[in-house]
Structure 1
Amino acid sequence: MRKTTYLICGLLALLLGSGVAMAMNLNEAMSALPAAKSAGQLGEQPNGYLGVVSNGGDAAEIARQINAARKAEYQKVARDNGVALSDVELIAGQKAIDRTPRGQYIQVNGQWTKK
């Protein structure tokens, strides 16, 4: 009985600890973004959001965090200027693609390509 209790407590600690370690906040995602883009894990899409080019590391979590922040900002800009969210997303997407350095990924016609 005692051995089982220790085993359950150990497993719970491991699970809870790994969840905390895997959690990433926006500042951490922003710091990790350049490396993820340089490694070819993330790229810019025409819709104004990051896309996962190849899974690895924290790519999906980085994209999730940053895309949520981008969407909130796009919604604010759209609301403040009385324009459609989709228009703001497309303009931001084109600007992000234009600013993407050579060798990093962008999405063109639904396909990932190195700029």
Structure 2
Amino acid sequence: MTLLKYATALLMAMALALPAMALSLDEAKSQLDTAKSEGQVGEMPTGYLGVVSAGGNAKAIVDAINQARRDEYARIADKHDIPVTQVEAVAGKKAMEKTPPGQYIQVNDRWVRK
């Protein structure tokens, strides 16, 4: 009986952890527009996404997209022999400019609706 209780507890813990599991980049991309329009995710001047309001897969989306962005920024910086921070700043500026009205951007460390 102890083994059955252990197995049940393990299955319950795994089921609770499912929403927190990492998303593939394709899954994150497919959920990004919805997360942005629902106010869960926003653009930051650093060139990365941030969690505006925790819920759904917001953190997993941010983590997956930001990792892909980090990799791409590093590739661009290496190619042009410039600091990654310079690429991040340019990308952040462009992303915030492209953000449609009603979605969130980070200004002076605060989330504001554009």
TM-score norm. by structure 1 comes to: 0.91
TM-score norm. by structure 2 comes to: 0.91
Letter in 2 for 1:34: D
Matched, 1:7 2:37: no
Cα distance between partner residues in 1 of 2:113 and 2:18 = 34
Shift of 1:18: 4.5
CA spacing shift, 1:51–1:85, aligned 2, 3 Å? same
Q: Which has the larger radius of gyration?
A: 1
Residues 25-57 of structure 1, C-alpha deviations (whole Å, 9 max, x = no match): 111111111010000011000000001111111
Cα distance between partner residues in 2 of 1:111 and 1:16 = 35
Cα distance between partner residues in 2 of 1:76 and 1:66 = 15
Matched, 1:98 2:83: no
Number of equivalenced pairs: 113
Matches within 5 A, 1:33-112: 33-112=32-111
Gaps of 5+ in 1: none
Cα distance between partner residues in 2 of 1:55 and 1:21 = 12
CA spacing shift, 1:21–1:103, aligned 2, 3 Å? closer
Cα distance between partner residues in 2 of 1:54 and 1:17 = 23
Percentage identity across paired residues of the two chains = 44
Name the SS for the 2:105 alignment partner: strand
Alignment partner, residue 30 of structure 1: 29
